[in-house]
Chain A
């Protein structure tokens, strides 16, 4: 499969989970390094690597639900699933408000019913240098925004996660200015790639993945994909996200995947697909250049990182 050729991989090409055996066995052979670190990636490793070529295969469901950055629960990616298990996601409502003609509070079931869900297989690139391929179920954010009818002054969209330290142990620590906030420019929000996701692999979203509804913006780093959304506001000024607020030198408003803009900790030139051990080149806009580059024409992407 050619990586840059298509941004939406048709669902007919989702590999059934048992077809991953070759990838698994590659991990096994490369993992010999565990016992003899110096011997890693010898000839045997190379041969196995060739067999494991399909980096565009969707990530295993078991991996998607066990390796999560969700600081409201824990900074430890493997600890999130257990800690978020009991998050109450029904009843749940999402308030769509701000500079709109028809503000509305959606009950989560209504939201799902009125907008439905289609499958979109997107790459997700985390700023930490790893990535997944995730078959999301959801609907285009643009449809929701159109329904509430933005006023002409509306230039940005601000998203807010649930604030509930009782259920979210990470929010009991005051290091971050909770709740999590993210933002998009209105045109980014209206882009047809931008998704509100309610499921993965045809199953309802689990709390560790942002249940009951989360944002998916595949050409941006993963942290832009705000989880467990309770509020969507149309605003005139550029919102300040939680990460910008925490460390403005490291995290900008745009956070477009860009292999040419470095980060003090992680390699942005390359990434590792979960399920594979080798690094692959990171693509401009995470490979969605054709669909999104037009929105940033003439912009200095180094300054607007």
Chain B
């Protein structure tokens, strides 16, 4: 356990206003040497903003920061880095098409006679990664490794640039499965035993307990409390985060579903695309939730992309509502009542510089075409309805989407698709980066939509979640559909199918 006087950084009375939003109200926070400090709270609670204040990305309005015993002003991210505060943001900011070694040492390549000494560079990079107990071929492009390795490479680069005293990780595990998260944890433990203070943001309560020494809870921009992890019961933590207890979490029950073999809403026969996904059969009935399970990179995303016409299939056929799909495109699929909530919300989900309202009506408007433009009044009506329904934290529907917190952006995309009133909903990691309370709400929403007759495909890296919501679980492995489970099935069975072999 660390000594309470070993404070590296202390923030006192921090206030931060954005137009229309007070993101931080009088927040205190302190980080000790060698501890892992979890920062938790609902979407929009102000976690990322607190981080940005600490790293000089945003100026705070009031308050003071003490670093290493002296009061300082952090002027810019560059400055923060120089004094030993390193950050890994949620979106990995490295280049996936160049090698791991280049990514790690970009700008500081070892040189010999003015030229880059590749041999020394690769050796150095290998050593850096081995320091973190990861043994990989550093000459391979970063993109060829799993997200976990990429995430670790991002951490390694942060460590390389400066030898930090404070390391900040903003939702590093949100898109990782349990095994991969463990890789990150190993790295974290190793660093903190070397005296680095780590701030860890996550929405996974389990991980908070697994790794952190202390927990700070924020709610609506205010500090709720800081606790020693060991002495804080889960129930209390959750109720501190969301302001009430999470009773509905357990009440949730999926509706009984009886397959009506006569009428499939969507039927894929031998559908596939070379290099993306091997031909597969899939049926989706009204009122049914089909879970897609599989490891990262097993081809789950590719399945829904081919179904939605993002990537045209080159094999097999797709029948929606008794009609054979001839032209595969998102527009065509929307016209057939299909909706896809994509996995990568930043790249293929939100349109950052448009307002929440415009983002929500985008897909409806696509269906209506160029000349049936929804009136402003109608747009506000739709937007406000979904802002209320999904509890999107924002002062108004005229806020730019890029100013929303990560989880709230995710909700806006969900709203966009719910607004089209689809008959089939394909959800690719819809709960990524979403807080516990809302996660339960979204799961409930999916179950309710199915009860009302919608067919849903549900992808998630959390097996628990897939099992809770789905009537049927399809397992993918290495871009191939390997099996399908209906009815009662144990987590073990699915895991085995996912891993294959043994």
Partners in one complex: no
